[in-house]
Amino acid sequence: MSVTAPDGVATGAAPEAVLRWAYESFPRVVIVASFQAESSVLIDMASRIRPDVNVLTLDTGRLPQETYDMIDRVRDRYAIDVEVVSPDAGDLAEMVGGHGVNLFYRSPDLRRLCCDIRKSRPLARALHGYDAWVTGLRRQQAATRAQTPVAAPDREHPSLTKIAPLAAWSKDEVWAYIREHDVPFHPLYERGYTSIGCEPCTRATRAGEDERAGRWWWEQEGEVKECGLHWTGGAS
């Protein structure tokens, strides 16, 4: 379902207004949550707009325990269902059988294969039946995200609209919202993490490093720090 965002939404409305527009414009909207700070903010905002918020998350099978704890914490706090989506067992068995369980350390291509099987393919399957999905992308997170639109037809999932209500927000704005509204946040932020993904592929960052420097940290400078959910080689 394709709906053109009105000018105000496309060019800088408050995230709450973008979410309200999304719920008014699309019958079936889902928040795709990684349970990083941005997800927490979006779920909190959405829960203030309506009680029946759809949330789904990708359980790659390699998440840190703290992320699983966050899923339950958020579910309890907001009294919402969180759909936990797993990779296809056959895809997984073929990949692990062919390349081993820690294939991501061996080459960028194998890392992208793992992300495809554990993240991109399950997301594509899970989005069937929805008209729009909401993501926590922000333009300041990475050069690959600098052109992120607030709302646009999703090139990867053609019948859907992809909505990024926080696209124009800074990290400080995200954390100010979390503090003001006492929103639950992922405990790994308190251990120096600035971006949180799968356990074997994420480390804490050091002062002065990019926000996403801890993702796939072993890869060479210049390798794109994206898993394919939001970047497939062109502009986001």
Distances (CA, A) of 6 to 25, 28, 146, 147: 11, 19, 21, 18
Residue 200 touching ligand SF4 (CB under 6 A)? yes
Residue 82 touching ligand SF4 (CB under 6 A)? no
- CB count, 10 Å around CB of 96? 15
Residue reference for tokens 């797993």: 86
Residue 118 touching ligand SF4 (CB under 6 A)? yes
Tokens coding 38: 């941005």
Of the residues 114, 115, 198, 227, which is catalytic? 227
Interactions with ligand SF4, residue window 52-81 (CB under 6 A): 60, 62
Please identify, among the stretches 32-40, 70-78, 112-120, 146-154, the one whose residues bind ligand SF4 according to the rule CB under 6 A.
Answer: 112-120
Residue 114 falls in the annotated catalytic set = no
Identity of the residue, 182 or 220, whose beta carbon is nearer to ligand SF4 in the bound complex: 220
Binder among 30, 43, 119, 142 for ligand SF4 (CB under 6 A): 119
How many residues are recorded in the chain? 236
Residue 229 touching ligand SF4 (CB under 6 A)? no
Q: How far apart are CA 162 and CA 156, in angstroms?
A: 10
Q: How far apart are CA 77 and CA 35, in angstroms?
A: 13
Residue 201 touching ligand SF4 (CB under 6 A)? yes
Tokens coding 139: 């333009």
Q: How far apart are CA 113 and CA 105, in angstroms?
A: 12
Residues involved in catalysis = 227
Q: Which residues bind to ligand SF4, rule: CB under 6 A?
A: 60, 62, 104, 111, 114-115, 118-119, 197-198, 200-201, 227
